Amino acid sequence: TFNWTADDQRAVDTVRVLAADAVEKVGNGHPGTAMSLAPAAYLLFQKVMRLDPKNPDWMGRDRFILSPGHTSLTLYIQLFLSGYGLELKDLEALRTWGSLTPGHPEYKHTKGVEITTGPLGQGLASAVGFAYSQRRMRGLMDPDAAPGTSPFDHTVWVIASDGDLQEGVTSEASSLAGHQELGNMVVIYDSNHISIEDDTNIAYSEDVLKRYEAYGWHTQRVDWTKTGEYVEDAAELYTALEAAKAETSKPSIVLLRTIIGYPSPKKQNTGGIHGSALGSAEVAALKTELGFDPEKHFDVDPAILAHARKVIDRGAQARAEWTTGFNAWKSANPDNAALLERIEKKELPAGWEAQLPTFQAGKDVSTRAASGKVLNAIGGVLPELWGGSCDLAGSNNTTIEGFGSFVPASKQTDTWSGTPYGRVLHFGIREHAAAAIVNGIHLGGPTRAFSGTFLIFSDYQRPAIRLSALMGVPSIYVWTHDSIGLGEDGPTHQPVEQLATLRAIPGLDVVRPGDPNEVAAAWKKILETTDNPAGIVLTRQNIPTYARGTGTATATEFGSTDGVAKGGYVLAEAVSDGAVVTPAVILIATGSEVQLAMEAREALAADGIAARVVSMPCVEWFHAQTSEYREQILPAAVKARVSVEAGLALGWREFVGDAGRSISLEHFGASADYKRLFQEFGITTEAVTAAARESLAAAGA
């Protein structure tokens, strides 16, 4: 039964004056929605969500996602009132260096923040991934429990704004949420009709709820302006949220009509209150309006704070109840409990790497095909690993066979069987949502997930990729068709700048294996990495599989794939008269261009030039090695160097230096057979050989 006391109302009003005070103090920020969303946020934290403020990482908690990150105060003030650890001094430090209250909420920075939000649309889109995560975890751990009875049941709550609803990434993700019938998520859409250019009607007049009905969502409207006066009817919203939660066959959206900045006397309902301090006079007027002392700042009645923090006790009780059920589940499901314990610790099972396939030397295989073989070889021992493609499953080789698709039964097709608890994801032609959803999967629970598409379409995913790197979540991107090597589809589909621009994202590992066995080693390292994202970049076309020794390269054997995890290693040594020698020139290559370096090495050897080939599958991993290791691979004294990559030279100058040369592609591609393209664009063994000679000349000069 719903209960809303005078203390609750006073707490909500306290939120508003704190929001105004915090922005006023720093002089900038976003007070408007923090004020008008105060009742909704308070309702969620105090009356609706299952949470335990003292255990913000409790697995059984409901998840809360504030998609409009600019209204971070909406979250920070609830974290303060609910006792998550934020205190008044933190609110006073809003948007200042080193504070726990940065301009936008940051994951891993402030307790209770489930996700970094700010770029609009990302929060709501990733929320769909949180909901995927919940369903998959339930399917892994407790599939037979009756609805609502499992310790793995929880609800994903989202606040979204007009801006979130306008961004295309939420359209993609919301279509998938409806398709997936995600009954475990509820969105409060704060429809306040104001954005930065003021009245949203200037750019936004669609019928949002009708659109969400078209996606298959459950829709409700709560209009606090419907009487002509603005009445914040918390009970009405509560009823709608409970109805939304009760609807477990589809996702729910509640359109909440609010007035931004209410009850600021002069600035409510204006674009001005969205992103600017109110000014001292208006802050004072607001306080007077709400019965607060206009002379006092950050003034919180201890009784009200104590009232709000009773949620700590309720949370402890909720967690205790949940723990009883959880312990019962553990006893009844020891194998699953062990699995849960392992993946919660982000550990891989002992000996898992024995499942990694070895590819036979001498056979040409595309690295995408090798990647598919790896995924299927390890799929059995790593149940936490799942993923799929953006309508390119067969091209991306991203299907782990034998476990079914993650879809409602009614949406199986002749090609794909599945269940709501399945393992193969189908994102449709929605690359951006795929990346955002995979982020949400990692944020929402302990599974590992990947999305697949062509490398060129990483451009569609960049905002979500950047957030994965900023947050430090281990999202995995499988990007195939990684160069002009894809051939006839032509320049719209051929990556040129993408390798360089992805490497440019701080914290993203970009891994481009040079042969099938490097693929297996790359997957190993990617899966062992748990605190940052990685993309694996794969060929469409077949490339050679090298015969390797078991250790570092020698005069007669190529280096083993142990070097892959170090980012760059000597694949083939500089040899003269049957002995390893200091290289005259170093050829650095990635992916399908390793073969060109290898052939050039032989051609140079025929002319008595001892060239070393360094395979550099991951620049980021290489940079993480000791300077001694790096010096060993790329001795400073060897100035003659050539990089070979079928993409921009951008970034390689650091490796090859002033005397170096880069075999690269500095313009868009073309539509033709790939062998013709490599030839026409001068990415050939002969070009590498010539560049090596040029570099030798330059280094000697």
227-266: contacts with its own copies (CB under 8 A): none
Cα–Cα dist 39/11, whole Å: 9
Is 491 one of the binding residues for its own copies (CB under 8 A)? yes
> Which residue type occupies 334?
P
Contacts to its own copies from residues 53-92, by CB under 8 A: 69-70
The token duo for 4 is: 């809303």
Number of residues that make up the chain = 701
DSSP letter at 661 equals E
- Quick one: 188 or 604, whose CB is closer to its own copies? 188
Residues 483/454, Cβ–Cβ less than 8 Å:
no
3-state secondary structure of 455: helix
Distances (CA, A) of 68 to 37, 74, 346, 487: 11, 10, 30, 42
Q: How many CB atoms lie within 10 A of CB 302?
A: 7
* Side chain identity at residue 101, one-letter code: T
The site that binds its own copies (CB under 8 A) totals a number of residues, namely 117
Q: Are 590 and 512 in contact (CB under 8 A)?
A: yes
The position carrying tokens 């009405």 is 236
Out of 133, 191, 200, 561, the residue judged to bind its own copies by CB under 8 A:
200
Least Å distance, CB 460 to its own copies, is 5
| Other CB atoms within 10 A of residue 428 CB | 14
Q: Tell me the closest approach of the beta carbon of residue 473 to its own copies, in angstroms.
A: 14
628-629-632-635 Cα dihedral, nearest 10 degrees: -70
Closer to its own copies by Cβ: residue 118 or 129? 118
Which residues inside 118-137 make contact with its own copies, applying CB under 8 A? 118-121
Q: Which two tokens stand for residue 513?
A: 């294996």
CB 623 within 8 A of CB 615: no
Alpha carbons 99 and 79: distance in angstroms, whole number: 14
**Pairing of β 569-572 and β 611-615:** antiparallel
Per CB under 8 A, which of residues 371..390 are in contact with its own copies?
Answer: 389
**Peptide bond between residue 263 and the one before it cis (omega within 30 degrees of 0):** yes
Binding segment for its own copies (CB under 8 A), chosen from 184-192, 247-255, 312-320, 460-468, is: 460-468
Tokens of 292: 């607060």
Query: Which residue of 432, 481, 540, 612 would you call a contact of its own copies, by CB under 8 A?
Result: 432
Least distance to its own copies, CB of residue 387, Å? 14
Is beta strand 252-257 parallel, antiparallel or unpaired with respect to 418-419? unpaired
By CB under 8 A, residue 178 contacts its own copies: yes
Cα–Cα distance for residue pair 679/169, rounded to 1 Å: 39
**Please, what is the minimum distance in Å from the beta carbon of residue 301 to its own copies?**
29
Q: How far is the CB of 302 from its own copies (least distance, A)?
A: 29
Regarding 179 and contact with its own copies (CB under 8 A), the answer is yes
Contact at 8 Å (CB) between 617 and 516? no
Judged by CB under 8 A, the chain residues 623 through 652 that form the site for its own copies are: 648, 650-651
Nearer to its own copies among residue 2 and residue 668 (C-beta)? 668
Rounded CA-CA distance 139/153 in Å is 10
Q: Which of 266, 463, 630, 693 touches its own copies by CB under 8 A?
A: 463
Window contacting its own copies (CB under 8 A); options: 242-250, 375-383, 421-429, 557-565 = 421-429
Q: Contact with its own copies (CB under 8 A): which of 313, 341, 347, 654?
A: 654
Exactly one of 3, 5, 98, 626 binds its own copies (CB under 8 A); that residue is 98
> What is the DSSP secondary structure assignment for residue 116, as one 8-state letter?
-
The least CB distance from residue 515 to its own copies, in Å, is 25
Dist. CA 456–CA 414, nearest whole Å: 29
Q: Looking at residues 300 to 319 of the shown chain, list those that interact with its own copies (rule: CB under 8 A).
A: none
Q: Which of these ranges, 113-121, 246-254, 546-554, 569-577, lies near its own copies under the rule CB under 8 A? A: 113-121
Judged by CB under 8 A, which stretch of 75-83, 335-343, 466-474, 583-591 contacts its own copies?
Answer: 466-474
Q: Catalytic pick from 24, 172, 384, 431?
A: 431
Least distance to its own copies, CB of residue 222, Å: 19
| Closest to 103 in 3D by CA, of 26, 189, 190, 195 | 26
Q: 574: closest CA among 638, 655, 643, 658?
A: 638
Q: Phi and psi of 29, rounded to 5°?
A: 135, -165
The distance of closest approach from Cβ of residue 135 to its own copies in the complex, given in angstroms and rounded to an integer, is 16
Determine which residue in the list 63, 426, 524, 525 makes contact with its own copies, applying CB under 8 A. 426
| Residue 116 sits in the site that holds its own copies (CB under 8 A) | yes
Q: Are 86 and 100 in contact (CB under 8 A)?
A: yes
Phi-psi sector, 397: left (phi>0), alpha (psi -120 to 50), beta: left
Q: Where are the beta strands (DSSP E) in 421-471?
A: 424-426, 448-454
- Which of 263/507 has CB closer to its own copies? 507
Bridge partner list, 572 = 613
Nearer to its own copies, 237 or 433 (CB): 433
CB closer to its own copies out of 467 and 574: 467
Find the shortest distance in angstroms from Cβ 18 to its own copies: 18
666 binds its own copies (CB under 8 A): yes
Restricting to residues 6-35, name those near its own copies by CB under 8 A: 26, 28-29
The phi, psi pair for 134, rounded to 5°, reads -60, -45
361 scored as a contact of its own copies (CB under 8 A): no
Of positions 45, 224, 386, 457, contacts its own copies by CB under 8 A: 457
Is residue 694 annotated as part of the catalytic site, yes or no? no
Distance CA 356, CA 523 (A): 9
C-beta of 4 vs 403, nearer to its own copies: 403
Q: How far is the CB of 221 from its own copies (least distance, A)?
A: 14
**CA–CA separation, 362 and 624 (whole Å):** 32
Q: Which stretch binds its own copies (CB under 8 A): 239-247, 298-306, 427-435, 596-604?
A: 427-435
Q: Judged by CB under 8 A, which stretch of 137-145, 339-347, 486-494, 603-611 contacts its own copies?
A: 486-494
Binding flag, residue 394, its own copies (CB under 8 A): yes
The span from the CA of 78 to the CA of 59, in Å, is 20
- Least distance CB 533 / its own copies (angstroms): 13
Instruction: Kindly identify the residues of this chain, within the stretch 505-564, that bind its own copies according to CB under 8 A.
Output: 505-507
Three-state DSSP class for residue 607? coil
Among 267, 466, 481, 612, binds its own copies (CB under 8 A): 466
- By CB under 8 A, the residues from 135 to 174 that bind its own copies are 162-163, 166-172
Site mask for its own copies (CB under 8 A), range 267-296, x = bound: ----x-------------------------
How many Cα atoms occupy the beta-carbon half-sphere of 568 within 13 Å? Answer: 26
Q: Strands 194-195 and 198-199: what pairing?
A: antiparallel
Binding residue for its own copies (CB under 8 A) from 676, 686, 697, 700?
676
> Between 357 and 657, whose beta carbon lies closer to its own copies?
657
> Kind of pairing, strands 476-480 and 448-454?
parallel
Of residues 395 through 414, those in contact with its own copies by CB under 8 A are: 395, 405, 407, 411-414
Q: Which of 149, 671 has the CB closer to its own copies?
A: 671
Q: Cβ of residue 278: shortest distance to its own copies, in angstroms? A: 16
**Hey, what are 556's tokens?**
């007669």
Q: How far is the CB of 420 from its own copies (least distance, A)?
A: 14
User: What residues pair up with 219 in beta bridges, in sequence order?
Assistant: 253
Residues with catalytic function: 431
